[in-house]
């Protein structure tokens, strides 16, 4: 075990689900070494996931989206220099690259950390990262949460408790007419088209929840997903789901009140699971054994024909149509019990 007070930098720039899957690393390090200072470097747009984290000393951020928009702008170069200076001023003993990409490995190297720890294959995404690592960790982990913890283990941390510390969220932006007796959140959108489940299938599940449990549905929408939410609403026969578009802080507050989450392999699904919300994850081009929602209160579905292709685009519903609405309802009842038992359970959650 490493002795003495150390200063650690965790590098996981994005995205939402990946940052959430990295949270146990900070928690485990701090639990094992309470005297250590642990910082996190993250993309600016995901910073709200880390604010107030009791395991972290500082959260440092960068905005690569803005950098790509204006690569030669004097303001961009000033921001880059400021970020590098802020990192180097911390004089890190170790940088842990949870991302395994060239950009994250470069960021770790620019921090000036004495040692940069990253993955060996198959967990490192880009082989060129190896040139920047001073130590590479091999792990037989199946799930990404456990693989990330292997990097913490390389520093002597003991993951006795896997925890996902998250902010309380901000309820100010929540709808005034939010159902007080409980509701489900559906997330029909996804960053990849190949992950999307047809709107009419979400509608069928919403109808079943309304008919059997009188459980209303909130449709969480990301920017540009309003049309998709409208298609779900228009396909419903009994339910009247309400679209919701909010920021990260309000989404956390929304999910803390939710009784159920249904959605594809995307950030809000993993956020719900980390908050302890019962979740049903719908998977296609990604493997739930590796990337599924982590915890005991979750179920996943994936068509037998699905391949782990990581393909971003496909004809609508090519693979995802292999997940039938009745199977999703079955998984919901596995989590909540039969219809009668689920009603009682929902009232006491």
Phi and psi at 101, nearest 5°, equal -115, 160
Strand arrangement, sheet containing 184-186: 242-244, 217-220, 184-186, 260-264, 279-282, 298-301
Q: Do 289 and 143 form a contact (C-beta atoms < 8 A)?
A: yes
Give the H/E segment covering residue 244. Answer: strand 242-244
111 three-class SS = coil
Q: Is the pLDDT of residue 271 over 60?
A: yes
180 or 82: which carries more pLDDT confidence? 82
Least confident of 65-69, 215-219, 244-248, 345-349: 345-349
Q: Is the pLDDT of residue 66 over 80?
A: no
Give the H/E segment covering residue 264. Answer: strand 260-264
Domains and CATH numbers, the chain: 7-154 (3.40.50.2000), 171-348 (3.40.50.2000)
Burial state string for 254-288 with b = 16 or more CB within 10 A and e = fewer than 16: bbebbbbbbbbbbbbbbbbbbbebbbbbbbbbbbb
Phi and psi at 224, nearest 5°, equal 85, 0
User: Above pLDDT 70, what percent of the chain?
Assistant: 95
1 falls in which pLDDT band (50, 70, 90)? low
Q: Is the pLDDT of residue 348 over 60?
A: no
238 or 64: which carries more pLDDT confidence? 238
d(CA 73, CA 195): 36
Q: How far is CA 328 from CA 92, 100, 184, 304, 339, in A?
A: 47, 34, 13, 15, 14
- Average pLDDT of the chain? 93
d(CA 112, CA 26): 20
The reported pLDDT for the residue numbered 71 is: 74
Q: Is the pLDDT of residue 311 over 90?
A: no
Mean predicted confidence (pLDDT) in 123-149: 96
The reported pLDDT for the residue numbered 69 is: 78
Residues 6+ apart with CB under 8 A from 341: none
Torsion of CA 49, 51, 56, 59, to 10 degrees: 90
Q: Is 17 exposed, middle or buried (0-12, 13-18, 19+ CB in 10 A)?
A: buried
| pTM of the predicted protein model | 0.94
Strand arrangement, sheet containing 115-119: 58-62, 37-43, 7-11, 94-97, 115-119, 135-137
The reported pLDDT for the residue numbered 181 is: 83
The reported pLDDT for the residue numbered 316 is: 45
Q: Which of 250, 242, 69 is nearest to 167 (CA)?
A: 250
18 falls in which pLDDT band (50, 70, 90)? very high
pLDDT tens per residue across span 212-241: 999 999 999 989 999 999 999 999 999 999
* Region for residue 286 given its phi and psi (left: phi exceeds 0; alpha: psi -120 to 50; beta: otherwise): beta
């Amino acid at each position: 075990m490493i002795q003495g007070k150390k200063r650690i930098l965790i590098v996981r720039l994005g995205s939402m689900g990946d940052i959430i899957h990295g949270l146990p690393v900070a928690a485990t390090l701090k639990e094992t070494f309470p005297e250590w200072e642990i910082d996190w470097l993250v993309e600016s747009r995901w910073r709200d996931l880390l604010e107030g984290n009791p395991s972290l000393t500082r959260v440092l951020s960068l905005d690569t989206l803005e950098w790509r928009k204006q690569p030669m702008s004097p303001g961009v170069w000033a921001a880059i220099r400021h970020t590098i200076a802020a990192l180097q001023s911390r004089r890190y003993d170790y940088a842990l690259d949870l991302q395994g990409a060239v950009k994250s490995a470069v960021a770790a190297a620019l921090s000036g950390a004495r040692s940069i720890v990253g993955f060996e294959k198959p967990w490192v995404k880009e082989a060129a990262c190896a040139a920047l690592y001073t130590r590479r960790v091999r792990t037989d982990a199946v799930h990404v949460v456990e693989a990330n913890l292997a990097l913490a283990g390389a520093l002597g941390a003991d993951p006795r408790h896997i925890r996902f510390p998250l902010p309380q969220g901000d309820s100010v932006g929540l709808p005034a007419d939010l159902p007080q007796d409980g509701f489900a959140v559906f997330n029909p959108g996804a960053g990849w088209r190949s992950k999307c489940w047809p709107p009419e299938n979400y509608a069928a599940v919403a109808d079943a929840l309304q008919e059997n449990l009188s459980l209303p549905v909130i449709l969480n929408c990301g920017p540009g997903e309003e049309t998709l939410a409208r298609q779900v609403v228009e396909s419903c026969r009994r339910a009247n789901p309400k679209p919701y578009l909010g920021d990260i802080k309000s989404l956390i507050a929304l999910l803390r009140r939710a009784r159920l989450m249904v959605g594809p392999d995307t950030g809000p699904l993993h956020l719900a699971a980390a908050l302890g919300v019962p979740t049903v994850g719908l998977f296609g081009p990604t493997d739930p054994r590796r990337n599924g929602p982590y915890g005991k209160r979750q179920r996943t579905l994936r068509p037998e024909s699905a391949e782990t292709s990581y393909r971003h685009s496909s004809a609508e519903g090519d693979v995802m149509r292999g997940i039938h609405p009745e199977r999703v309802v079955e998984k919901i009842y596995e989590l909540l019990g039969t219809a009668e038992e689920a009603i009682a359970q929902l009232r006491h959650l």
